[in-house]
Amino acid sequence: MRTRVVALEAQTGRRERPCSSPRRLPARFISVDTSPTPAPDTTPRGTPRPDVTAAERPNSPRVGRSGSGRHRSGTASETTRSTDTGVGSTTGRPTDARRAAADRPTDSAAMASRPANARSASPGPPTAAQRTASGRRPEKDRTTGGQGPTQSRTATGRGSGTAGTTTRREVAAEPPTDTADATGPAPVSRRRRTLLLLLALTAATSATALVLGLLSWAPDPPEPTRPLTLAEGERLAAVRVTNLRDLRAGVRITAGADAARIELVGWVDWSRSLLYLDVGGPGAGAERGLVQRVGPVLVIRPDPAAVPTPAAPPLLPPADRWRLHGLAPGTNLAPVLDLLLDLAADRPDQTQAVPGSGARWIAQDTVAAGPVDVLEASLPAGPPHRSPAFGSTVAPTPSAAPASIDPNGQTRFWLDQDARLHKLVTRLPGVGPVTMILNRADRPTLRPVDALGGRPGLPRALTDAERRRLDRLPARLRAQRGATMTLTAPVGTDTNLRGAGWVSWTTGTAYLAVADLGVPDRRTLLRRDTAGLARTDLPAAAAGGGTAEAPGRPPLPPPAGRWRAQRSGGDDLNVLVEAAVAAGSVGPPGTALRVREDVTAGRTVDVIEVGPADARLRYWLDRDGSLRRLELHTDANAWAQLDLRPAVVPRLTPVPRPAAKPRPTAPRPR
């Protein structure tokens, strides 16, 4: 009976005092009752007594009331709370004490006003065995979000399994019993500090080692030079053969020093002995601009306003303003171009592979194409070609190889394992230091300008259709009646002619004004008719005006003056003009060859070459059979052009000729 009273009081929160019940219950009945407690009855049981506070009502959680073990968090604070209220306590406090504890005010201010010694009078925390016996959960079940049970109750005012409200007195009275939560972060912090200390020590050690290494660093001594091995000698001997096999390469050259320094950028085609360069630098002089060379023939396109530093020339060269040029003796450009062309040959240079040649291995180096060996040897033994004087047909004459005048009397070659030359450093007499850098990957197909014969072709015999067009050329030109003429003729040493005029195939007459670039203020009027060739020299203003590069057409009627009669032929200009008037007299059949297909004035043409080797003519015939250009191979090993465009030709009156002087008559005898 007493046990039921205690259970009922614990469930309903009311004090049921039957008459037969004693006022005090043994403590063992309170502590031994561990059976599951049914849910509390929340049905109102009438008007509460006035002396019952809100904390003791059935619907309100009562401070200090303990439920079953399933609803208890089992913290040390709750143990303290049970000791104060007498519920679930093992001290056996009487029921009057419990009523006194229940009648205490729950106001927070009142709790806070209690003295500290009253709050600290509670007994110590229960042992683990006692918490287990009372049905409490382990400590880890009460921990939420990394916060301890004391912090959770302080923040929310509720225990983790208790329906009552936790007061500040109870929070203050709870001792820190969770040793694992209180000391958990300490090992992690110690490990983090240890790791940071080790990292700082490692960084300091590395920095110290680096500084000491930099202070004590010294470059490795270079490997001593030595004579070439057999394989290295064979590679050096095959340099020129490799250049000829590779056909082309990009080049960048610096020659000379100080104010005489020249710089060249462009390409070399060893297979055709062709150079195409942009010349710059403070010592460029009259050669500043674009330069092309085929064998001994050099043409330039001067550009005095160009920047001193050269750039790669346009791959398709400009068509105008090219002229023959003779390099003055002592200039830096001629020996440099000779050396560049002489870096190719059709057979190895065996003198380079001889053990006693003095060639040596110097060092290893790295260029853009990869690792190379630096070898020191003499220049190639092949003779460089000296450019003959323009205006002559003499073949280039060999001369001794330019001797090196560097301190060791040697040239350095940067060679890879395939015998390809990537760099050359030497000294040339009269020039000074020369550095050539070759780009083996820059190998475009080069096109010579028209003055050097234009792009190469594959000569072949004429087809039947091409032969018929060539045979019908005279009749075709007479049907066209006439055309305008534009002359571009490099005919001699620094003699570059420009001209403009007309040709009439119906009357067999040609009339044009010719300017020499070397004498820009003079003009030569040339007329060819049935009476022969005649010339006269006049000032530029009286002979049609214009510039030396683009002279105007000759005046009509021809001005009176001292006209000089000339015989047919004689020079390249007369041959070219007479060929234009002859209108397709191409010589005996079987001597014509088709050189290539080309384009001029927007029309596709066949370039047909006729005549002997010393006076070759090229006819540019379009597919309609019209003549668009005549080319003549001049004595300067260049090509002169006479462009023809069908047009209405004015009446070309004969030149005024001096009146014939009367013969003196002998007196009649008487």
Q: What is the pLDDT of residues 264-273, one digit of tens each?
A: 999 999 999 9
- CA 637/CA 614 separation, integer angstroms: 10
Beta strands in 576-626 (DSSP E): 593-600, 603-610, 617-622
Number of residues that this document lists for the chain: 670
**Beta-carbon contacts of residue 33 (< 8 Å; ≥ 6 apart):** 3, 6, 7
b/e burial code for range 506-523 (CB count within 10 A of at least 16 → b): eeebbbbbbbbbeeeeeb
With vertex at residue 608, the alpha carbon angle to CA 602 and CA 609, rounded to the nearest 5 degrees, is 135
- CA 431/CA 332 separation, integer angstroms: 5
Strand partners, 566: 533
On whether the CB atoms of residues 72 and 118 are closer than 8 A, the answer is no
- CA 407/CA 384 separation, integer angstroms: 23
Give the per-residue pLDDT at 162. 39
On whether the CB atoms of residues 404 and 379 are closer than 8 A, the answer is yes
Give the per-residue pLDDT at 240. 94
On whether the CB atoms of residues 30 and 6 are closer than 8 A, the answer is yes
Beta strands in 544-602 (DSSP E): 564-566, 593-600
Q: Is the pLDDT of residue 105 over 70?
A: no
Does an H or E element contain 285, and which? none
- Where does the pLDDT of residue 663 fall: very low under 50, low under 70, confident under 90, or very high at 90 and above? low
- CA 479/CA 506 separation, integer angstroms: 8
Nearest C-alpha neighbor of 162 from the set 82, 264, 253: 82
- Where does the pLDDT of residue 306 fall: very low under 50, low under 70, confident under 90, or very high at 90 and above? confident
- CA 262/CA 286 separation, integer angstroms: 12
Report residue 262 as tokens: 């020249």
| CB neighbourhood size of 565 (10 A) | 11
Residue whose token pair is 């020039």:
431
Higher-confidence position of 33 and 191: 191
- Where does the pLDDT of residue 242 fall: very low under 50, low under 70, confident under 90, or very high at 90 and above? very high
Report residue 609 as tokens: 């070459």
- Where does the pLDDT of residue 221 fall: very low under 50, low under 70, confident under 90, or very high at 90 and above? low
- CA 425/CA 489 separation, integer angstroms: 39
Percentage of the chain lying above the pLDDT 90 cut: 45
Residue 226 Cα distances to 311, 349, 409, 422, 661, angstroms: 39, 21, 17, 21, 89
- CA 203/CA 200 separation, integer angstroms: 5
Q: Is the pTM of this model over 0.85?
A: no
| CB neighbourhood size of 347 (10 A) | 11
Residue range 34-75, pLDDT digits in tens: 555 555 555 445 444 444 444 444 444 443 444 444 333 443
Strand partners, 522: 539
Residue range 487-533, pLDDT digits in tens: 999 998 789 999 999 999 999 999 999 999 999 999 999 999 988 89
